[in-house]
Chain A
């Protein structure tokens, strides 16, 4: 029996080797025995069939759901059938929500044979829904409600409507008491996404109820949320509108539903597996006239909570907007919201198996009404030839769009970004010919919109792009951007190219990446990038303090004691005093550069070198801001061709508290060392350095806040974080307003950017400012929630 269970366990289970290994040593029965086994018991067959429900486009929905329904009904007296089935239904609608309408269809048919099955399911789901409401697990609430909505046709009276009305009452209370409230917004979203399933389940009924409900939600849904500007994926230049200015998710939903209502609730994309073909009219009548059930009560507490995940209003985002032929549902269509919603729940709930998630993306068309999409892998160019009135939606585009909406979700998607990378990778592996062209168009769209994407998202895009290519032999049609190579480095497109190539090199090596690039790009990867170990500048006799540099390096190499090192440092100090330069800064450059060089073989080497000289480094770092700046400068200068290594070292120096987060920010944004005249702002690695540093600080605050509760232990950390954001605000505001001294009086040549260089730098400043103001606001909100 255990064997059956394991095999039923879904996915690609049932691998012989694995099972063999799980067997006990002395209990190794001959493999052959299983062939003589009787057919698996009913509860195993039911589980197996339910798990693959609707997965094959070759099987007819109605046959499949009827077969399972009858199997369940015939065997429902058996305990293991009953409990196994009820548990699996409750789990399936959460973990694989695209199958929910099909599971509901099984129940509607079972209802015509054994109504008690539906009674049991309702008695199981209603309390589960209640529990999820109580803890604020809003996605699970939405998914249970979606399931119940699909059962509307077998519910008594108004069915699910009263629950939605009650949810709406909570939403109104929340929204009227606080304009920043996000729970109410979430509730309205849930209501609006549930209504279509009710209407599809019980066609021709409840139209008045739906209209009444939508009259009420209109006030909340049509009002732009106070926080929406904060999480808009676009950050347009002054005077321009954001492409998503009117794309609040619930605002769109409200309009889409209203359009649907005037259309008699056609809801053409939704599958209706409970509708049997005409020749089965008798069976259909039985279903329609089967027993109706009262919906068990679902209590909603007076005060609802936000739950474990912070809630934000959502914006509908698409990388396939404004194409000549629409390859995804337009934002005016309810299909846009319903398909996206089903996909996102699938993606985010199945993060524990990206292979299955990717399978869902590829098989998307199996879970919606026939004719919703065009044939898989139809090239985009062919869409033009499709005659009017017929759909032109490409399943691959819809799938890729959904993943991109998560990559570009502000402030953060639910899972680590690398999860969404991995989903796209798997989808590409499963169906390269279908997915790759869609991805290519998504990349092109993002690239063309780099200038107005939120800067954090532009960086995410760059990071994904390089990582994605690393999984596919670094192949990309660089040819199409070749003209942009000649743009000035501070142009967003050029900055992207330079940043992406650096990331690629970090995941590979310079020569390899050079080999993937057309001639025009070759000059972007200089010989210094191909050198694994940068030169030690003190090996050059002409470098001041060359002798001391070499001596220090030799001492560090033989792991000399601090007493042996000090005399060399003293010599540098006295020489510096004679030349009237800062002695500590001078000796720090020699010392830190020597540490970098001695540790240049690998990160382990440099970490060991830092560990051995930790006390001296801590003393230097504690001495002055100038000294801290010099530590960073020396590390960055030594690894200038490989900023990734430098960033890793800085991260470790922060961990040791040798340098401070403020020093990193000052170095990157104020000192001019990361690029003069505002150049620093355009460099991807500078953004990475700063962003990572800020995230380290905010992460620390959250950690302390969650551990130390309200006893004040978090206070110093919180104060430090606020100081840091203040420093950033000051540094960035002057860039953004154009009042930075370096901008007013540019000492640097214009590097081809011409007269509008100032404007470009100012624009970078604005974009930086927006990112970190948002981070600051989110952390403040987080602290507030924590104190409540």
Chain B
């Protein structure tokens, strides 16, 4: 926990366990586990560990968006915590289409904290969205880092999520190959029928 003061109930305006976890584990020789698989933090060498990069953060990472959610929708919801200074949609690295996350930057740290408390975990476009304090957007971080261009979490998902392109992409392409095989088999069957006739 940051700070010495501890409340009698958990505070919702703290960085997530994800962020704290990955910061502790920042070791160059290790592969990292990733929050939704995206939003790569720039690899700065660790200079002063006691300086908290989130102490004045005004940016939020927003996850679990539908691929179809528009900037205008994000803007409408997030403006309720203060004027949005900048909004950067996460894009598929190859298709350049929204891939389910974004960065929202406010003018003040307090607005960002309020957003964690009041908007994180509520619905946008009928999906529960997640928010996390972020040290700040840097060019390149708007792209998905999954193999197929989207977010890593969308590669191996085995649930069907209509708002995020159905099944995980790796599984999808596996299924596609299967469908193709079936189709070939069906084709052969049909051919066989032809033969028997």
Give A residues with C-beta under 8 Å from B.
Answer: 6, 9-13, 17-18, 21-22, 24-25, 51, 88, 91-92, 95-96, 350-356, 415-419, 421-422, 425, 467, 470-471, 473, 506-508, 602-604, 642, 644-645, 648, 651
- Complex CA–CA separation, A512 to B73 (angstroms): 14
Asked whether A604 lies within 8 Å of B87 as measured between CB atoms, the reply is: yes
Listed stretches B16-24, B36-44, B146-154, B156-164; interface member: B16-24
Give B residues with C-beta under 8 Å from A.
Answer: 1, 6-13, 17-18, 20-21, 24-25, 27, 70-73, 75-77, 80-83, 87-89, 114, 117-119, 122-126
What are 12 A-B pairs with beta-carbon distances under 8 A? A9-B6, A21-B21, A91-B8, A354-B118, A356-B10, A418-B114, A419-B118, A421-B80, A467-B77, A506-B73, A507-B77, A604-B89
What is the chain A residue whose CB lies nearest that of B98? A602
Asked whether B87 lies within 8 Å of A507 as measured between CB atoms, the reply is: no
- Complex CA–CA separation, A419 to B122 (angstroms): 11
Asked whether B8 lies within 8 Å of A10 as measured between CB atoms, the reply is: yes
Asked whether B117 lies within 8 Å of A351 as measured between CB atoms, the reply is: yes
- CB contact between A418 and one of B1, B81, B123, B124 (< 8 Å): that residue: B81
Q: Which residues of the other chain, A, contact B75 by a CB distance below 8 angstroms?
A: 603, 648
Q: Which residues of the other chain, A, contact B70 by a CB distance below 8 angstroms?
A: 602
Asked whether B71 lies within 8 Å of A416 as measured between CB atoms, the reply is: no
Asked whether A421 lies within 8 Å of B8 as measured between CB atoms, the reply is: no
- Complex CA–CA separation, A88 to B71 (angstroms): 45
- Complex CA–CA separation, A604 to B12 (angstroms): 30
What is the chain B residue whose CB lies nearest that of A602? B71
Asked whether B123 lies within 8 Å of A470 as measured between CB atoms, the reply is: yes
**A508-B73, A604-B87 known; A353-B118 Cβ under 8 A:** no
- Complex CA–CA separation, A36 to B164 (angstroms): 45
Asked whether A22 lies within 8 Å of B20 as measured between CB atoms, the reply is: yes
Q: Which residues of the other chain, A, contact B12 by a CB distance below 8 angstroms?
A: 352-355
Asked whether B124 lies within 8 Å of A507 as measured between CB atoms, the reply is: yes
Q: Which residues of the other chain, B, contact A415 by a CB distance below 8 angstroms?
A: 114
Instruction: With both chains docked as a complex, state the minimum distance between the C-beta of B21 and any C-beta of chain A, in angstroms.
Output: 4
- Complex CA–CA separation, A24 to B70 (angstroms): 40
Asked whether A25 lies within 8 Å of B81 as measured between CB atoms, the reply is: no
Asked whether A651 lies within 8 Å of B83 as measured between CB atoms, the reply is: yes
Asked whether B10 lies within 8 Å of A421 as measured between CB atoms, the reply is: no
Asked whether A22 lies within 8 Å of B17 as measured between CB atoms, the reply is: yes
Known A353-B9, A353-B117, A642-B72; further 20 A-B contacts with Cβ < 8 A: A9-B1, A9-B10, A10-B7, A10-B9, A21-B24, A22-B21, A91-B7, A350-B9, A352-B12, A354-B117, A416-B82, A416-B118, A418-B80, A421-B80, A422-B117, A422-B118, A422-B122, A473-B126, A603-B75, A644-B76
**A419-B117, A422-B122 known; A352-B7 Cβ under 8 A:** yes
Q: Which residues of the other chain, A, contact B6 by a CB distance below 8 angstroms?
A: 9
Q: Which residues of the other chain, A, contact B119 by a CB distance below 8 angstroms?
A: 418, 422
- Complex CA–CA separation, A279 to B20 (angstroms): 53
- Complex CA–CA separation, A572 to B76 (angstroms): 36
Q: Which residues of the other chain, B, contact A508 by a CB distance below 8 angstroms?
A: 73, 125-126
- Complex CA–CA separation, A731 to B87 (angstroms): 35
What is the chain A residue whose CB lies nearest that of B22? A21
- Complex CA–CA separation, A525 to B82 (angstroms): 29
Instruction: With both chains docked as a complex, state the minimum distance between the C-beta of B49 and any C-beta of chain A, in angstroms.
Output: 13
- CB contact between B9 and one of A17, A24, A356, A473 (< 8 Å): that residue: A356
- CB contact between B11 and one of A88, A353, A604 (< 8 Å): that residue: A353
- Complex CA–CA separation, A351 to B116 (angstroms): 11
Q: Which residues of the other chain, A, contact B89 by a CB distance below 8 angstroms?
A: 602, 604
Asked whether A467 lies within 8 Å of B10 as measured between CB atoms, the reply is: no
Q: Which residues of the other chain, A, contact B21 by a CB distance below 8 angstroms?
A: 21-22
Q: Considering the complex of A and B, which 3 residue pairs feature the smallest CB-CB distances, nearest first?
A: A21-B21, A11-B10, A418-B80
- CB contact between B10 and one of A12, A470, A602 (< 8 Å): that residue: A12
Asked whether A471 lies within 8 Å of B123 as measured between CB atoms, the reply is: yes
- Complex CA–CA separation, A18 to B17 (angstroms): 6
Instruction: With both chains docked as a complex, state the minimum distance between the C-beta of B29 and any C-beta of chain A, in angstroms.
Output: 11
Asked whether B122 lies within 8 Å of A425 as measured between CB atoms, the reply is: yes
- Complex CA–CA separation, A57 to B81 (angstroms): 36
